[in-house]
Amino acid sequence: MSKDIRIRPDGFVVREGWWHRKSVKWSAVMAIHARRIDRVTYDEIFLIFELSDGKSISVGELDKGFAMFREALADAFADMEANWHSLAEAYAGTPVQVWQA
């Protein structure tokens, strides 16, 4: 199921369907990993966010709002690995850490 990503000044919200919704503050992100998943007919890059509460949340490049989210991510984590997309491509199936608090 595709997710819907919305940007907020202090973070982002990920929505799956009508009822499932997760709000994340930029300050709650402890690490970010990039991972390429082989979907047989296509590949998709995901970003996995490790949060301060011990949970994680992932968003994919095919999720609604990802292009705007990518821009907000660069602003929120200026020292994040700039070539994270290429790193995920190079290490298919293996999460690659691209930022850590």
Q: Which residue has the higher pLDDT, 18 or 100?
A: 100
| Residue 73: pLDDT over 80 | yes
Comparing C-alpha atoms, which of 74, 64, 59, 67 is closest to residue 24?
Answer: 59
- Taking the domains of the chain in order of start, what are their residue ranges? 4-100
Strand order in the sheet with 43-51: 56-60, 43-51, 29-38, 96-100
Model's pTM, two decimal places?
A: 0.92
Q: CA torsion 27→67→33→81, rounded to 10°?
A: -90
| Residue 29: pLDDT over 90 | yes
CATH code of 4-100, in short, is 2.30.29
Task: Collapse the DSSP code of 59 into the 3-class scheme (helix H, G, I; strand E, B; otherwise coil) and give the result.
Answer: strand
Q: Which pair of structure tokens corresponds to residue 88? A: 């995920």
| Residue 54: pLDDT over 80 | yes
